[in-house]
Amino acid sequence: MTPSILVRDLTKTYRVPERNPGLLAAVRSLLRPHFRDVEAVQKVSFAIQPGEVVGFIGPNGAGKTTTLKMLSGLLYPTSGTATVDGYVPWERKTAYQQSISMVMGNKGQMAWDIPALDNFYVLGEIYRAPRARLNATLDELVALMDMGDLLTKPVRNLSLGERMKCELVGALLHRPQVLFLDEPTLGLDVLTQIRLRRFIRDYNVHSGATIVLTSHYMADVVELCSRLLVINHGRLIHDGEIDALVGWLAPYRLIRLKLDVVEVNGDLRLPGGAEIVTHEAGDLTLRAERAQVPSIIGHLLASLPVIDLEVKDAPIETVIEQIYSAGVAS
């Protein structure tokens, strides 16, 4: 199968002016400016198949947004190659621009002084979408987002969550085959985040669109993506399934117990490979090596008055923090 997105050694270097503080330094910088090269993205390579939903994460300044801007045609790379839906993004061909869309949580495309519905028709004209198809698509998206009561309100009167709904609908009116989502749930309340995730998942299922998602909310990534690209200091340090990443960096599981007593009489003796993380008021959390979990559970059930038991992987936030701090690569 031909990849929907194919990236090879993509690199972006910025030439950044530098000067010391003060008036004299400012005058000197006019006569003899000093520049420093900043490698925002360094030889990034990956392939994404049609219909995949892939998480693209990294700390602030890691190169996520720069990469997405190159793939959407907003920036020219310093070197490297990329194709998206069969097009070279920075050639900015009309057919390419009609096949993709990008939503940024901190920027909008909606005009504030007119109703959302008028905005949608303006965007439809920009994308040259036939009116009959535009109306059909709009009806479908409005129903999926349950936002019929928002269409006649001026955008400036909408809440942040309502505006993000409109931004997503506006980005999908021309039925793009590739969708770049950069922090789409930024600043939204928990309920609105859940609804937007459900909408993105449903749109992917119904349309088969390829989606690349960046987010600092790990719930977005875990619920929508099975595959993860991790970038740090401009370099891609992981490309693989989320479960594989957790298993690699956190080779243990957490066992949480609810006991029928407040305190355990006598010493709590555990088999090898297990250690207590927390223990208070009848609640017990253990960390155990993955291979030892079945035998440890058997020992606990036989020796303690267990009324509830849960086994979980390490929190994804813990794993990602380990990657960022250590700079490890898989």
CATH 3.40.50.300 domain locations along the chain: 5-246
Residues 300, 309 contacting (CB under 8 angstroms): yes
Q: What is the pLDDT of residue 194?
A: 87
| Helices 131-145 and 160-172: angle between axes, nearest 10 degrees | 140
CATH number for the region 251-313 comes to 3.30.70
Using alpha carbons, select from 41, 52, 38, 37 the residue that is nearest to residue 9.
41
Q: What is the pLDDT of residue 282?
A: 75
3-state helix, strand, coil in the chain (%, to 5): 40, 30, 30
- In single-letter form, the type of residue at position 66 comes to T
Q: What is the pLDDT of residue 311?
A: 86
Using alpha carbons, select from 217, 110, 95, 85 the residue that is nearest to residue 168.
110
Q: What is the pLDDT of residue 212?
A: 95
Q: What is the pLDDT of residue 114?
A: 92
Answer positive or negative: Cα dihedral of 15, 16, 19, 23.
positive
Query: Which portions of the chain are predicted below pLDDT 50?
Result: 330
End-to-end Cα separation, the chain, in angstroms: 25
pTM of the entire predicted model = 0.77
Q: 61 — alpha (psi -120 to 50), left (phi > 0) or beta?
A: left
Q: What is the pLDDT of residue 324?
A: 67
Chain centre distance of CA 15: 28
**Look-up: residue for tokens 């030889």?**
43
The pair of structure tokens assigned to 25 is 């330094």
Q: Which fold has domain 5-246?
A: Rossmann fold (3.40.50)
Q: What is the pLDDT of residue 80?
A: 96
CATH 3.30.70 domain locations along the chain: 251-313
Using alpha carbons, select from 39, 37, 47 the residue that is nearest to residue 71.
47
